[in-house]
Structure 1
Amino acid sequence: MEIEIGTVASGWQDVIALYSGQLPVRVATRHGVSFDIPGLTVWLRNPADLTPPPGYPYPELIKDYRDRVFGEQRESSLLYQRLRRWVPAGGAPVDQFEQAVALLRQDEHTRSAVFSTWRPEEDLGGPFPVSPVGGALRIVGGELLLFLTARSVDVWVGLVPELLTFGQLVSDAALDLRLTGSKVCYQAWSAHLYEVDYLTYLSGA
């Protein structure tokens, strides 16, 4: 399933509304019953607009997620360490995202500006595997495209903080590369909405 939204503020409710149709699969998990759309792809046309959606119930999570990538929690953030301080075996830390941007500075047509945050020796079968698991940057039509792959996302709780944080990351990179704009293509292998949150959504719809 694919959906295109203009901004996080205007499009989050459109993503939630997908769960009113026939697409979701009902799954009983250890955390409760959820409705899952496997392989949901969200195209975000204007990631530079960092306005939170009206009615989003967890504004504190936006600040928390941003702090993990840009702020005070970077030193303890698994996502930040994997993305900006990847430690290869026997080598010095690597800023994968900056290296991907640097590749595009050298060759705007490269298809090798790829980064990974997944370490199978730690995440495969681990209690808290990282997500997103990786992505890529490309320049297409004078815009910077961020392709981001998420292992799993709770669309009621975690989708908004992730889109806003990575939206800022790609917007800043586009400015650095002197490009006219940016977009995000976000794909989640499991995009789920828990039944209790779905009932909350219905009660307010």
Structure 2
Amino acid sequence: MEIEASTVAAGWHEVIALFARQPPTRIATRHGVSFDIPGLTVWLRNPADLTPPQGYLYPELIKDYRDRIFGDQREASLLYQRMRRWADGDGPPVDQFAQAVELLRRDEHSRSAVFSLWRPEEDLGGRFPVSPVGGALRIVGDDLVLFLTARSVDVWVGLVPELLTFAQLAADAALELGLTGSRLCHHSWSAHLYEVDYLTYLAGPT
């Protein structure tokens, strides 16, 4: 399933509405019963607009997620360490994202500006494996497109911080490359609402 929205604020409401428009799949997980939309892709045409959605209940989580990529939590952030300081023990840490940007600076038509966030030796079977598993950058027309693939995302709680953080990352990288705009393509293998949040949403508008 795919939706296209202008901003994170608009896109979140469109994703939430999907759960009411069609019967989602109800599954039981170790974290509780959830309603699941498998394979959801969200295209954001204007990710530079970082306005949070009206009705989103966890603004502190936006700051927390941003701090893990841009702020004072970077040293302890698994996402930051893997994206910006990937280490394999055989050499110095690799800033994957910076290298992807530099690759596009040298070759704007490259399809190899890829970064990985998944480590199978740590994440397969792990209790809390990372949500974003990897991504790629491409220049399409005058825009930089950041493609992000997520293993799993809690739409009610975690989707907004994830979209806003990677939207800023895309916008910053576009400026660095001298491009006029950016877009974000977020694909999730499991976009879900936990039952309690699903019932809260059905009880009233967000």
**Does 114-123 or 16-25 show the bigger shift?**
16-25
Partner SS state of residue 72, structure 2? coil
Amino acid at match of 2:170: V
1:110 equivalent in structure 2: 110
Q: Which runs of 4+ in 1 moved over 6 A?
A: none
The residue aligned with 1:42 is 42
- For residue 137 of structure 1, what is the aligned residue in structure 2? 137
Q: Please give the TM-score of this superposition, normalised by the length of structure 2.
A: 0.97
Conserved 8 A contact 2:16-2:155 = yes
Unaligned segments of structure 1, at least 5 residues = none
Match of 2:203 in 1: 203
Identify the residue that residue 71 of structure 2 maps to in structure 1. 71
Query: How far apart are the structure 2 equivalents of 1:204 and 1:60?
Result: 22
Alignment of 1:59-98 (within 5 A): 59-98=59-98
Superposed CA deviations along residues 105-139 of structure 1, whole A, max 9, x for unmatched, are 00000000000011111111111211200000000
1:47-92: CA deviation from partner (whole Å, max 9, x where unpaired):
1000000110000000000000000100000000000000023110
The normalised TM-score by structure 1 is: 0.98
Per the alignment, residue 124 of structure 1 pairs with: 124
| Contact 1:39–1:189 (CA under 8 A) maintained in structure 2 | yes
Tell me the distance in 2 between the aligned counterparts of 1:130 and 1:95. 18
What is the count of residue pairs matched by the alignment? Answer: 205
Unaligned segments of structure 2, at least 5 residues: none
What is the SS of the residue equivalent to 1:133? strand
- Secondary structure of the residue aligned to 2:108 is coil
Kindly provide the amino acid, as one letter, of the partner of residue 116 in structure 1. Answer: S
Aligned equivalents of 2:167, 2:203: Cα separation in 1 = 30
| C-alpha RMSD of the superposition | 0.9
How far does the alpha carbon of each residue in 1:10-51 deviate from its partner, in whole angstroms, 9 at most, with x for none? 221111000013352110122221110111000011110000
> Who is 1:2 aligned against?
2
The percent of aligned pairs where both chains have the same amino acid is 79
Counterparts of 2:107 and 2:88, CA distance in 1: 25
* Structure-1 residue corresponding to 2:178: 178
